[in-house]
Amino acid sequence: MSIKLRELIRQIRACKTKQEERTVVARECALIRTAFKEDDNQFRHRNVAKLLFIHMMGYPTHFGQMECLKLIASNRFPEKRVGYLGLTLLLDETTEVLMLVTNSIKHDMTNNSSQYVNGLALCALGDIGSEDMCQGLSSSVEQLLGSSTAYLRKKAALAALRVIRKVDETEDKFNSRIKDLFEERDHGVLITACATLTALLEKHPEYVSSFRKLVPGLVRTLKQMCMSGYANAAEYDVSGITDPFLQVKILRLLRVFGAGSPELSEEMNDILAQVVTNTEGTKNPGNSILYEAVMTIMCIESEGGLRVLGINVLGRFLLNRDANIKYVALTTLKAVVSRDVKAVQRHKATILECLKDPDPSIRKRALAVTHAIVNEENIKGMTKELLNFLLVADAEFKEDLVQKICSVVEKYSPDARWQVDTHIKVMCLAGNVVDAPTRASFCTVVQNTAGLQAYAVHKLFFSMKENITQEALVQCGVWCLGEYGDLLVGGNAQGPEGQPIVVQSKEVIDLIADVIKRPPGDDARKGLTSTQELCAIALVKLSSRVPDQAERIRQLLRKMDRSISVELQQRTCEFLALLEPGWQGVRAGILDKMPANKNARRPVGDTTFDDAPRSAPPPRWTI
């Protein structure tokens, strides 16, 4: 005896374990299969209804597909209803048996006297119709678009939407019918008409000109709903807002009409300003309308004041406690920042505050917006804020943050000295996540800016002593010590009070020796130049810059020639050979400083240091 659906649900809910649930489902599926084999017409619709529930729980129910087709062919409405429901849930457009039901759907569309049966057929086509089905039934859909019943026109518009998306050759036959739908007062018809026309114009922009006459009517309808003067407003009220669903659809359609058209955009400016001003944003229906209005403002050829008004709405979204609303606001700000960057910059404080949000997705989007609003005018202030955030950022968030900071510093730096200072600060705070291109870029700036070399090597020397665990700082510092160590020990920099800063050559070699003692980092495993290799290069170059430490340098190199790294062994042996007396005549030329890289991009901003003569007074340096 077949049990009812309610009894099956009660049995499944009573199961205490997953195994008990599977046993109940397997037993019931076996009984349903037996009933299908016996061609039980009396309880077929009940069995299919139970299969739908089992399908929603995630169990396989493909054996019930053909029974859905049999129910659709029935003359009884309850059986048809279950059959069409099963058709849309158990099948999709790629199912082969779907073609077998095409004639039944066509018959129910055109020959059945019940509008509810017609609606079931239209819904099935709009939900799972394949390309062949849509092409074969497009004429029937067009006929029902002109029905005298609003219920059928609404369903037919949804089916037409599916046909437009699936078939390229039949889209023009709906044009005149769609225009007629906008004369309706029924909200359901208007919503589906807006959705269908939006899909048509997005797929075929050449039709925009033929539908421009609809814009005044859409603006008028939107204004009536916005000003609460729409007929039967209480019937469509959602949280105090008149039909937010229809308002959203109209705003999306206006966005399509206004894009690239100053004339149509001019017609929309007033109503968009009214929507943004009059819509209450304390609940989700109002927020959805405000969001769509802002997106429409940014997509059409709107006025500057209207764009500012829209961006201010997004700024208010950032103050909302709901993380979803914040995320939407940040994503939208990132998309529209190119349209009006100054208006977005007015909300800089709020955007920076979002960097402290506990939600990592909010922080990531806030960082993207912050990166987008940095320019030459605010680079120093924004970089300071980002460096402050770097102090407290999570480990998994630091890599992206460091990349953003370094990219804006390289792009908008006002002068080479500020760029060097900022890179050193970043490497002191998060040197283990600074990538190789950024390290190379820093070294290139120092290499090409003669007047900054003494300043940079002094600052790197003292920074390394305090932050020897930061890999990028150590690598850049070791490279600069090898190239400009003579400037470090020659007293070519001045302290805050003008006194020369003199570093003993022994201190330089001691620092490199401390670096060599550190365990190897990840660079060697990644195929990059390791810190040990850079130390070997720095030591051999320092042999000509601080000759009094030559013997100490040889001792350190001899320890490194027994390294397990073949590359380091080879380099060290070559360097030791270079220090032999036989190379005395050419050693100075081989170990000379790296020349300026003429092919590299010159430092941005003030380039005073680039052309500074060697005899110029040394730059003041503060610790």
Q: Output the pLDDT for position 315.
A: 92
Query: For 260-304, what is each residue's pLDDT tens digit?
Result: 888 888 989 999 999 999 888 888 899 999 999 999 999 988 888
Q: Would the pLDDT of 607 be above 70?
A: no
Those residues whose C-beta lies under 8 Å from the C-beta of residue 544, and which sit 6 or more positions away, are 587, 588, 591
Q: Output the pLDDT for position 529.
A: 66
Query: How far, in Å, CA of 60 to CA of 63, rounded?
Result: 8
First-residue to last-residue Cα distance in the chain? 90
Asked if 327 and 365 touch (Cβ cutoff 8 Å), the reply is yes
Q: Output the pLDDT for position 524.
A: 52
pLDDT class for 604, splitting at 50, 70, 90?
Answer: very low
Query: For 29-51, what is each residue's pLDDT tens digit?
Result: 999 999 888 877 788 888 999 99
Q: Which of 220-229, 450-459, 604-613 has the lowest mean pLDDT?
A: 604-613
Asked if 486 and 546 touch (Cβ cutoff 8 Å), the reply is yes
Query: For 242-262, what is each residue's pLDDT tens digit?
Result: 889 999 999 999 999 998 888
Q: Which residue has the higher pLDDT, 50 or 501?
A: 50
Any idea what DSSP says for residue 501?
A: E
Q: What is the mean pLDDT of residues 207-216?
A: 90
Query: For 6-27, what is each residue's pLDDT tens digit?
Result: 999 999 999 999 999 999 999 9
Asked if 373 and 344 touch (Cβ cutoff 8 Å), the reply is yes
Q: Which of 70-79, 101-110, 442-451, 608-617 has the lowest mean pLDDT?
A: 608-617
State both tokens at 151.
Answer: 């219920």
In the beta sheet, which residues pair with residue 415? 606
Percent of the chain with pLDDT over 90: 44
Percent of the chain with pLDDT over 70: 91
Q: Output the pLDDT for position 622.
A: 31
Query: For 337-367, what is each residue's pLDDT tens digit?
Result: 888 888 999 999 999 999 888 899 999 999 9
Query: How far, in Å, CA of 84 to CA of 129, rounded?
Result: 12
pLDDT class for 620, splitting at 50, 70, 90?
Answer: very low
pLDDT class for 523, splitting at 50, 70, 90?
Answer: low
Query: For 546-592, what is each residue's pLDDT tens digit?
Result: 888 889 999 999 888 888 888 888 888 988 998 888 888 888 888 88
State both tokens at 69.
Answer: 């087709």
Those residues whose C-beta lies under 8 Å from the C-beta of residue 181, and which sit 6 or more positions away, are 145, 153, 157, 189, 190, 192, 193, 196
Q: Output the pLDDT for position 460.
A: 93
pLDDT class for 618, splitting at 50, 70, 90?
Answer: very low
State both tokens at 148.
Answer: 């005298």
Those residues whose C-beta lies under 8 Å from the C-beta of residue 456, and which sit 6 or more positions away, are 420, 424, 446, 480, 484
Query: How far, in Å, CA of 41 to CA of 75, rounded?
Result: 12
Per-chain mean pLDDT for the chain:
86
Q: Output the pLDDT for position 442.
A: 92
pLDDT class for 396, splitting at 50, 70, 90?
Answer: confident
Query: How far, in Å, CA of 283 to CA of 108, rounded?
Result: 42
Q: What is the mean pLDDT of residues 597-611?
A: 49
254-257 contact pairs (CB < 8 A, 24+): 254/215, 254/218, 254/219, 254/222, 254/296, 254/300, 255/295, 255/296, 255/299, 255/300, 256/198, 256/201, 256/202, 256/208, 257/201, 257/208, 257/211, 257/212, 257/214, 257/215
**C-alpha closest to that of 466 among 506, 429, 503:** 429
Those residues whose C-beta lies under 8 Å from the C-beta of residue 354, and which sit 6 or more positions away, are 318, 326, 330, 362, 363, 365, 366
Query: For 445-461, what is each residue's pLDDT tens digit?
Result: 999 988 889 889 999 99
Q: Which phi-psi region, left, alpha or beta, contains residue 301 (left: φ > 0; alpha: ψ -120 to 50)?
A: beta
